[in-house]
Structure formats: structure tokens, C-alpha cells
């Protein structure tokens, strides 16, 4: 509402009253709106707490990498999801903070400050009006006969009262005008900012989940395959249990009173002997214990103790293809069964489960469960043993003896058929051992616990004589398909076929010196990285790095951001590593104990000295606040970087970094960029390096190393470091310069870009790298040549380069 006239009048007073009523009404609306906004922000806070509680529960449910139960149901994969969910929870907390700041605080300020000032201004105006009215009445009541000094005093009082009245009136007008002005922009701005905060929240969440979409789809595909595999195994298990029940039923129907005599033992079937001989020969030719060991016979036997009582104890015996007879001291129970299953799976997934999640399958199934295996004992080496049917000092049935040079074992089978089969199998093994005598070479190794009884994924860990015969006929594999084999056979279900020889970025980079620990806090197995800093960091430090801004640290995940890890980035990271990067970023931190204060570099001021001595590198157990202060000091303030100055005995920084790029010394270039803040876009001289190619491109490429150095030194004027890297360095050096802001389309004195140089020098890898990063293929040099024309002139026979140039042209 505009004040047409500022004179005090009834119309003016009515305008003030209308504005005050409007302000009071708006105050009531704002207060109600504020209550709703406060409930909304409280709800966002509760949702954040619920999200974090859910993530923590999921982490606990997923368990650790060494927990075989969690590994069995995909716990390590779920932990990948917890990272994303925790990040989304962080986004929600940021949204709550922005809504609190943009909306709640503004509404509360209007209610408690702006509207309150209107009331206070009205009070001051009413008070001034009353004083002014009294002074005016007093002045008008003067008589003509009043003394002059009295009249003058009353007149002065009237003047002061009117001045105060006018000030209070215009103060009220100003306050109401301010409130009216805020109506036009304050609330729109607050609500608009709140909506923009929601836009950023949902955009960040979408981008994060969109990056994870391929991984989620792969996990779902893998789960579907696992479901089909489990159904197959369940059907197979049911069939084998039914077959076993039928076998037991047949055995129960046969007479169990028989006793093997000489006639029954002599006709040991030819087929059985052939099977045993084949198994033993395979074991003899095997190179590793996992491949060569097979189970020939297993089952329960009663063993007579060697003590004075001579009591009998039921033990589970295993006869393997090495001629070794084992028995379990403890009965086969649930724990031992789980151990066996885990052992079988430890070999299967790492060897056969190609494609999705093979890394965590292979890395998490290898070890940590040996304590769950039942204790086994190496009983006897059958090569030096004989077997007797009769059992002295025993009138029990189904007994036989194994006589070795060191001990005699009296055993009892459960029936005559078992006795006959055990004797037949043991005799067959002894015969084969005497024929081949190959296991003798392995006797020195001895048993290594129960681990020798577990076999690879291509055979069953426990098979009876029937299974051995089926192995000879090629039928055992189809009836005893293991989990790993099924995954290998089920590639038709479109599980992505990854090359097992192609290592994952996280495996490659963790082998670099120092990369097994977080660069900032020492947390083991970091799975995040900073692209431009060339370091690996943990998830907690990665959050601090994100707050630094992308101009300081570009944070990416080693497992989620799969498209980022191109060969150029991997080459750069392999050239640096956490150890070297920390030697630069933390140089003064390590030198603090050896350099006294007076010997500190001149550029290192007193406050920085004090900070350097007071600051210590945090450990992974320290709170996030300690890590945050250290990371800000390390990267944002460069408090521990030894900033060197030019020395009269050394080349200038520009010449040094030029020489480092020429020699492809990425570590030296990295040090110059960090310590000296070298300009990666600096131009070297005025002449054109492209004159090299104008003279003779082929002679330049085919020249010796000395001639190449001479030409580059002679014609290196007028180009940037990126031009030089495209001529004389590798993709890792180009990546380092690009990470620190090198211009893709900068021109040298001949009007050529780095893309022109990479094509002329026939470096197709760098050419593809520049094109993928957005280099302009339509840029022309002074002679009007584009990149595509130079490809034809340079006879660069690379279909991918031509395809990229053609695609960019369209």
C-alpha cells in the first residue's frame, strides 16, 4: 500500500490501521505455517535417524567378510548397498538442515522480530501522540496575560513533543513499509529455496541410484540364478535321498548273517579293480592335492581301542586315492557338516562363478573356518600294510584287521556286505599302491588336518564306491553338480561373462604402495578414491573430501563408479600411490620431529609451525571431527606441504615441470603441481612445436631417443604441457594434467590442439582419451586441417578412433 500523502490525517491513520491489521494477520498465518514446518523438519530428522538405524541393522545383518554364514547369503554384497543408503541418509540430513535454515528460521524471524517491531512502533507512536496532544492542549490554554517566559517554555515543550511524535509516526510507517515489502519476496524466496533443496535431494539420490542400477540388476540376476541353482540342488538332494533310502531298504532285505570266506574274497570284481586303478593313476598324475585326492570308500566302522578294556567305538572312516585311511575322532555333526560345505564352496565360487560378484565370492570364501572342521586323524599308510579277515581275540562277526609296521587296527563292519566291500577296496588300493608307488613321494607331507579330505568343485567331497564307478563312466558329474559347476553351466541365463583374468580396479590399486590403508586415517581396505589427488581413502574420509569441493578433491567409489576407472586413471594411480602422495602432502608433518623451529622453511609462518606441531595424523578409531580438521588442514590449507621457492642453482619451476613431462615423470609433475602450484596451462615460448611435423613427421617418429630429445628441445616453443604430453608421455601423464585443469582445446603457435599432436604422433590411446573427455574434433589448425583429416594423412589405422571422430562429427 502506497502512502499518497504523509501528512497526519484521518485517512493516513486509517492506512496505518489497515497495514497493522494486515501485519497482525500475516503474523498469525506465519506462526501456523512455522508450526507445520517444524513438524516437517522434525519428521525429516526422525527419518534420518530411522535410515541410519536401518543401515546399521543391514550392516549387522550383512556381517563381516570372514563370517561364512553372512557370506553364504550375500552379506558382502549387501554391504555395498549400505554405503549407498548411508549416503542417501546424509542427503536427507542436508535437506533437513536447508529447510530449517531457509524456511523455519525466516518464519520465526518474521513472527518474533518483524511483527514484534510493528507492535513496538505502534506503542511508541501512541505514547508520542498522547504527549503531543497534552502539550498542544497546554499551549492552547495559555492566556494573553501569561508571562512571556512561561509561554516560551510551553512552546518549546510543544515543539519537542511534535518532533517526537513525527519521529514515532515515521518510524511506524517505515516498519509497516518494511513488512509490506517483505510480503513480495521473503516468503516466495523461502518456499522456492525449500523446493530447490528438495530438487537437489532427489537429484542426488537419483544420480547415486542410477549409477548403481547396473550393479543392482546384476545382483538381481545373480539372485535369480542362485534361486534356480538352489531349486536344482534341492531336487538333486531329494533324488539322492530317495536313492539312498532304496539302497538301505535293499540292504535290509538281504541276509546279514553271512561271513566272508576265502571264496567270497577272491572274486574281487574286475570292474571294481579297474575303477580303483583308474582313480589311483589319476592321483599319481595330479600335481596338486586338491586335484588328485578322491574318496574311494567311506562309512562307519567300529574300532577296537588299544587300551586294556578293549572297548569298541564307532568312527567314520575315509579311504582316499593316496592310499591314506582317516577316521574322525568326533561324529559327523552339524558344525562339521557346515565346515565341509564351506570348504567345498571355498573352491567352487572362486574357480567357476564367473561374472557378477566373483571378486567377493573368491575373496570371502577363502579361509577363516578351519576351527569349525571336525578333527580327523591319519590312521595308516596302506602301502606298508596288509589286511586280514580274521580278528584275533574277538568272537564278534564282521571283523577284520589292518596290520601296519607300527600298529594293528581291529575294525568291525555293520554287516557282511560292508565287511566284504571294505576289504575289497582296501586290497585294491594296496595293489595299486604297489603297482604305481606314487603316493610314497607325498608321505613326507603328512596329513594337514581335515583339509586333505575336501576336494575341488569338480568332484564330490564324499563319494562311495558306486560314485567312483560312475566317475569312470562320466556319469558322476551330472548327478553331483555342485554350486560352482551349476553357475558355470547356467551362463545361458545371461549372467554377464566377466573375464576372470581382467582384474577389478580395487584389486589393481590396492597393490600400489600404501594403498592397502586409507591415506588420511589408516583404515584398512579403503574402497573410495580421490581422482585428482591419486589416493585411496575410506568411506568416512570420503565424506569429508566431498565437503572440500571438487576443486580440491574429486571423490569416486572403487566399486560403485565403475565407468570412472579407465585405463588412464588406473595408470595414473599406479604411478603415485598413498605412500608417495603422503610424502608430499604430509612432508612437514614427518619433518616436524627432525627440523627445529628455526630451520623451518621461510614460507612456513609461525602460525603454520604451531599448527604443524599441534596437529597429528588421526587413526581410523578417532572421531570424525578430528579427521575433518586434519583433512581440511592437509588439503585445503596445505599446512603440511613444503612449498619450495626457486633456487638460483636450479631451473625455474616452469622449466622443471616441462622437463618432467618430457621424461614422463608423473611423480615429479605431481610434486610441482602440489608444492609449487605450477600452471599446467603455461605456454612454453613462442615458436611452434608443430614445425617438427612440417619438416618430416615420419623422420621425427622414427628418430632415435637422442634426436627426439633434441627436436623437442629445439621446437618446444609455443605449446602447453598437454601438447608435450601428447607427443612424448603416456595416458597417465595426460590424465594427470587433465585432472588439474589442462585445457583440452588449447592452441599452440601453429594453431594445433593436443588432439592434433596425438594423431600426428600416432598415439591412438591418447587420441581416444582426449575424444572421450570432450576434445573438439572439428578444431582446425592454421592450414585448415581437422583431426579426421590428419588421421588419414598420418595413416592411423584405428577403427575406434575413426568411429569416435565420426560420431563427434555428427
Q: How confident is the model at residue 801 (pLDDT cuts 50, 70, 90)?
A: confident
For residues 260 and 423, what is the distance between their CA atoms, to the nearest angstrom?
10
**Tens digits of per-residue pLDDT, 54-78?**
988 888 887 665 667 777 777 777 8
Using alpha carbons only, how large is the chain's radius of gyration in Å?
43
For residues 203 and 211, what is the distance between their CA atoms, to the nearest angstrom?
12
Domain at 509, CATH number: 1.10.220.150
Spatial neighbors of 602 by CB under 8 A, at least 6 apart, are 645
For residues 355 and 425, what is the distance between their CA atoms, to the nearest angstrom?
42
User: Please, what is the Cα angle at 547 between 544 and 552, to 5 degrees?
Assistant: 95
Q: What are the two backbone dihedrals, phi and then psi, of residue 795, each rounded to the nearest 5 degrees?
A: 55, 45
Contact 559, 539 (CB under 8 A): no
- Structural domain contains residue 500: no
Contact 518, 537 (CB under 8 A): yes
Mark which of 430, 462, 492 sits at the end of a domain: 492
For residues 311 and 720, what is the distance between their CA atoms, to the nearest angstrom?
90
For residues 21 and 27, what is the distance between their CA atoms, to the nearest angstrom?
10
For residues 299 and 154, membership in a common domain is answered with no
**Tens digits of per-residue pLDDT, 471-486?**
334 333 333 333 333 3
- Structural domain contains residue 499: no
Rounded to an integer, the average pLDDT of 140-167 is: 88
Q: What are the two backbone dihedrals, phi and then psi, of residue 742, each rounded to the nearest 5 degrees?
A: -65, 135
> What's the pLDDT score for residue 720?
86
For residues 545 and 486, membership in a common domain is answered with no
- Structural domain contains residue 251: no
Rounded to an integer, the average pLDDT of 659-678 is: 88
Percent of the chain scored above 70 by pLDDT?
70
Mark which of 583, 604, 636 sits at the end of a domain: 636
Q: Is the pLDDT of residue 568 over 80?
A: yes
Domain at 119, CATH number: 1.20.1270.60
> What's the pLDDT score for residue 372?
40
For residues 607 and 473, membership in a common domain is answered with no
Percent of the chain scored above 90 by pLDDT?
20
For residues 547 and 460, membership in a common domain is answered with no
**Tens digits of per-residue pLDDT, 504-542?**
888 889 889 999 999 999 999 998 999 999 999 998 899
- Structural domain contains residue 235: no
**Tens digits of per-residue pLDDT, 407-439?**
888 899 988 888 889 998 888 888 887 776 543
Mean model confidence pLDDT for the chain: 75
Mark which of 590, 609, 636 sits at the end of a domain: 636
Contact 298, 319 (CB under 8 A): yes
- Structural domain contains residue 392: yes
- Structural domain contains residue 208: yes
For residues 713 and 702, what is the distance between their CA atoms, to the nearest angstrom?
17
> What's the pLDDT score for residue 767?
87
> What's the pLDDT score for residue 435?
72
Closest C-alpha among 168, 156, 152 to residue 118: 168
CA dihedral over 444, 449, 455, 456, signed as positive or negative:
negative
For residues 526 and 478, membership in a common domain is answered with no
> What's the pLDDT score for residue 808?
60
- Structural domain contains residue 8: no
Would you mind telling me the total number of residues written for the chain in this entry?
810
For residues 629 and 556, membership in a common domain is answered with yes
For residues 329 and 469, membership in a common domain is answered with yes
Q: Which residue has the cell 570424525?
A: 624
Strand order in the sheet with 528-530: 535-537, 528-530, 555-557
Q: What are the two backbone dihedrals, phi and then psi, of residue 325, each rounded to the nearest 5 degrees?
A: -115, 120
Closest C-alpha among 758, 605, 789 to residue 690: 758
Bigger pLDDT: 175 vs 272: 175
Cell numbers for 297:
570308500
Cell numbers for 159:
515543539
For residues 482 and 557, membership in a common domain is answered with no
> What's the pLDDT score for residue 361?
42
Q: Which residue has the cell 533324488?
A: 239
Residue 348: alpha-carbon gap to chain centroid:
25
Q: What are the two backbone dihedrals, phi and then psi, of residue 785, each rounded to the nearest 5 degrees?
A: -85, 130
Q: What are residue 304's DSSP bridge partners?
A: 312
For residues 626 and 614, what is the distance between their CA atoms, to the nearest angstrom?
12
Contact 428, 272 (CB under 8 A): yes
> What's the pLDDT score for residue 304?
86
Give the chain's domain count: 4
Cell numbers for 704:
632415435
Q: Is the pLDDT of residue 92 over 60?
A: yes
Q: What are residue 387's DSSP bridge partners?
A: 402
For residues 672 and 685, what is the distance between their CA atoms, to the nearest angstrom?
20
Most distant CA pair in the chain: distance in Å? 163
Question: Torsion angle of alpha carbons 667, 673, 674, 677, nearest 10°?
Answer: 160
How far the first Cα of the chain sits from its last, in Å, is: 58
Bigger pLDDT: 290 vs 311: 311
> What's the pLDDT score for residue 712?
55
The total of other beta-carbon atoms located within 10 Å of residue 564's CB is 15
Domain at 392, CATH number: 2.30.29.30
Contact 207, 452 (CB under 8 A): no
Q: How confident is the model at residue 703 (pLDDT cuts 50, 70, 90)?
A: very low
> What's the pLDDT score for residue 45?
92
Rounded to an integer, the average pLDDT of 752-758 is: 85
Burial of 205 (0-12, 13-18, 19+ CB in 10 A): middle
- Structural domain contains residue 703: yes
pTM exceeding the 0.85 threshold for the entire prediction: no
For residues 486 and 509, membership in a common domain is answered with no
Q: Which of 115-124, 194-203, 248-257, 413-422 has the lowest mean pLDDT?
A: 248-257
Range of the domain at 460: 268-492
For residues 451 and 373, what is the distance between their CA atoms, to the nearest angstrom?
8
For residues 717 and 805, membership in a common domain is answered with yes
Q: How confident is the model at residue 334 (pLDDT cuts 50, 70, 90)?
A: very low
Domain at 756, CATH number: 1.25.40.20
Q: What are residue 530's DSSP bridge partners?
A: 535, 555
> What's the pLDDT score for residue 502?
59
Q: Which of 131-135, 227-231, 603-607, 716-720 has the lowest mean pLDDT?
A: 603-607
Q: What are residue 400's DSSP bridge partners?
A: 411
For residues 309 and 404, membership in a common domain is answered with yes
Q: How would you write 653-718 as a 3-class SS string? A: HHHHHHHHHHCCCHHHHHHHHHHCCCCCCCCECCCCCCHHHHHHHHHHHHCCHHHHHHHHHHCCCC
For residues 406 and 367, what is the distance between their CA atoms, to the nearest angstrom?
35
Closest C-alpha among 764, 757, 756, 755 to residue 796: 764
Q: How confident is the model at residue 96 (pLDDT cuts 50, 70, 90)?
A: very high
Contact 773, 742 (CB under 8 A): no
Q: Which residue has the cell 540364478?
A: 225
Cell numbers for 675:
608444492
Q: Which of 197-211, 305-319, 697-711 has the lowest mean pLDDT?
A: 697-711
For residues 306 and 450, membership in a common domain is answered with yes
DSSP letters for 41-56: HHHHHHHHHHHHHHHH
Amino acid at each position: 500500500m502506497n502512502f499518497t500523502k504523509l501528512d497526519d490525517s484521518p485517512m493516513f491513520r486509517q492506512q496505518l490501521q489497515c497495514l497493522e491489521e494486515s501485519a497482525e494477520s500475516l503474523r498469525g498465518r506465519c506462526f501456523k505455517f512455522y508450526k507445520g514446518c517444524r513438524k516437517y523438519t522434525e519428521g525429516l530428522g526422525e527419518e534420518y535417524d530411522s535410515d541410519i538405524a536401518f543401515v546399521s541393522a543391514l550392516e549387522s545383518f550383512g556381517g563381516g567378510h570372514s563370517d561364512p554364514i553372512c557370506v553364504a547369503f550375500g552379506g558382502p554384497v549387501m554391504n555395498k548397498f549400505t554405503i549407498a543408503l548411508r549416503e542417501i541418509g546424509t542427503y536427507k540430513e542436508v535437506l533437513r538442515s536447508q529447510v530449517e535454515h531457509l524456511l523455519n528460521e525466516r518464519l520465526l524471524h518474521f513472527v518474533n522480530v518483524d511483527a514484534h517491531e510493528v507492535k513496538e512502533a505502534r506503542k511508541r507512536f501512541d505514547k508520542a501522540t498522547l504527549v503531543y496532544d497534552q502539550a498542544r492542549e497546554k499551549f492552547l490554554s495559555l492566556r494573553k496575560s501569561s508571562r512571556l517566559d512561561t509561554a516560551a517554555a510551553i512552546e518549546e515543550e510543544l515543539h519537542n513533543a511534535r518532533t517526537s511524535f513525527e519521529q514515532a509516526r515515521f518510524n511506524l510507517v517505515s516498519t509497516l513499509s518494511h513488512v509490506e515489502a517483505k510480503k513480495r519476496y521473503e516468503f516466495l524466496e523461502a518456499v522456492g529455496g525449500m523446493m530447490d533443496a528438495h530438487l537437489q535431494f532427489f537429484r542426488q539420490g537419483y544420480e547415486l541410484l542410477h549409477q548403481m542400477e547396473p550393479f543392482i540388476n546384476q545382483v538381481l540376476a545373480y539372485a535369480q540364478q542362485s534361486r534356480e541353482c538352489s531349486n536344482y540342488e534341492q531336487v538333486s538332494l531329494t533324488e539322492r535321498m530317495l536313492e539312498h533310502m532304496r539302497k538301505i531298504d535293499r540292504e535290509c532285505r538281504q541276509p546279514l548273517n553271512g561271513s566272508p570266506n576265502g571264496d567270497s574274497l577272491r572274486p574281487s570284481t574286475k570292474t571294481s579293480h579297474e575303477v580303483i586303478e583308474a582313480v589311483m593313476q589319476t592321483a599319481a598324475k595330479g600335481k596338486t592335492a586338491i586335484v588328485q585326492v578322491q574318496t574311494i570308500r567311506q562309512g562307519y566302522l567300529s574300532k577296537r581301542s588299544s587300551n586294556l578294556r578293549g572297548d569298541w567305538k564307532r568312527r567314520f572312516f575315509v579311504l582316499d586315492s593316496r592310499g591314506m585311511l582317516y577316521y574322525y575322532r568326533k561324529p559327523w555333526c552339524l558344525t562339521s557338516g557346515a565346515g565341509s560345505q564351506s570348504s567345498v564352496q571355498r573352491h567352487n565360487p572362486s574357480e567357476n562363478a564367473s561374472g557378477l560378484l566373483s571378486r567377493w565370492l573368491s575373496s570371502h570364501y577363502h579361509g577363516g573356518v578351519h576351527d569349525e572342521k571336525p578333527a580327523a586323524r591319519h590312521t595308516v599308510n596302506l602301502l606298508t600294510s596288509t589286511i586280514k579277515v580274521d580278528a584275533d581275540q574277538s568272537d564278534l562277526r564282521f571283523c577284520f584287521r589292518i596290520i601296519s609296521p607300527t600298529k594293528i587296527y581291529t575294525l568291525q563292519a555293520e554287516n557282511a556286505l560292508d565287511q566284504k566291500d571294505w576289504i575289497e577296496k582296501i586290497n585294491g588300493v594296496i595293489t595299486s599302491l604297489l603297482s604305481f608307488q606314487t603316493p610314497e613321494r607325498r608321505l613326507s607331507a603328512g596329513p594337514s588336518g581335515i583339509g586333505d579330505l575336501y576336494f575341488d568343485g569338480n568332484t564330490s567331497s564324499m563319494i562311495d564306491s558306486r560314485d567312483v564307478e560312475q566317475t569312470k563312466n562320466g556319469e558322476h558329474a551330472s548327478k553331483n553338480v555342485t554350486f560352482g559347476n551349476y553357475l558355470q553351466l547356467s551362463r545361458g541365463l545371461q549372467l554377464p561373462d566377466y573375464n576372470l583374468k581382467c582384474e577389478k580396479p580395487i584389486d589393481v590399486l590396492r597393490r600400489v604402495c600404501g594403498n592397502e590403508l586409507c591415506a588420511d586415517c589408516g583404515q584398512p581396505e579403503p574402497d573410495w578414491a580421490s581422482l585428482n589427488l591419486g589416493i585411496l581413502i575410506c568411506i568416512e574420509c570420503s565424506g569429508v573430501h566431498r565437503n572440500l569441493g571438487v576443486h580440491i578433491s574429486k571423490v569416486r567409489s572403487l566399486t560403485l563408479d565403475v565407468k570412472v576407472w579407465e585405463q588412464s586413471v588406473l595408470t595414473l594411480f599406479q604411478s603415485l600411490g598413498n605412500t608417495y602422495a603422503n610424502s608430499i602432502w604430509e612432508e612437514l608433518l614427518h619433518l616436524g620431529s627432525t627440523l627445529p623451529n628455526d630451520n623451518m622453511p621461510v614460507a612456513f609462518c609461525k602460525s603454520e609451525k604451531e599448527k604443524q606441531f599441534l596437529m597429528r595424523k588421526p587413526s581410523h578409531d578417532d572421531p570424525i571431527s578430528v579427521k575433518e580438521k586434519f583433512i581440511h588442514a592437509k588439503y585445503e590449507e596445505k599446512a603440511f606441504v613444503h612449498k619450495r621457492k626457486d633456487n638460483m642453482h636450479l631451473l625455474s619451476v616452469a622449466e622443471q615441470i616441462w622437463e618432467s613431462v618430457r621424461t614422463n615423470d608423473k611423480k615429479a609433475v605431481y610434486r610441482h603441481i602440489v608444492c609449487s602450484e605450477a600452471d599446467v596451462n603455461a605456454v612454453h615460448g613462442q615458436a611452434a612445436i608443430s614445425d617438427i611435423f612440417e619438416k618430416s613427421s615420419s623422420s621425427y617418429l622414427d628418430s632415435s631417443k637422442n634426436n627426439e630429445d633434441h627436436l623437442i628441445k629445439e621446437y618446444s616453443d609455443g605449446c602447453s604441457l598437454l601438447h608435450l604430453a601428447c607427443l612424448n608421455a603416456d595416458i597417465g601423464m595426460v590424465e594427470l594434467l587433465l585432472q588439474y585443469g589442462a585445457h583440452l582445446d588449447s592452441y599452440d603457435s601453429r594453431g594445433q590442439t593436443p588432439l592434433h599432436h596425438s594423431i600426428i604422433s600416432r598415439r591412438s590411446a591418447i587420441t581416444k582419451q582426449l575424444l572421450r573427455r570432450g576434445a573438439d574434433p572439428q578444431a582446425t589448425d592454421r592450414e585448415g586441417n581437422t583431426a579426421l583429416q590428419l588421421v588419414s594423412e598420418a595413416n592411423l589405422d584405428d577403427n575406434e578412433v575413426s568411429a569416435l571422430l565420426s560420431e563427434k562429427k555428427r
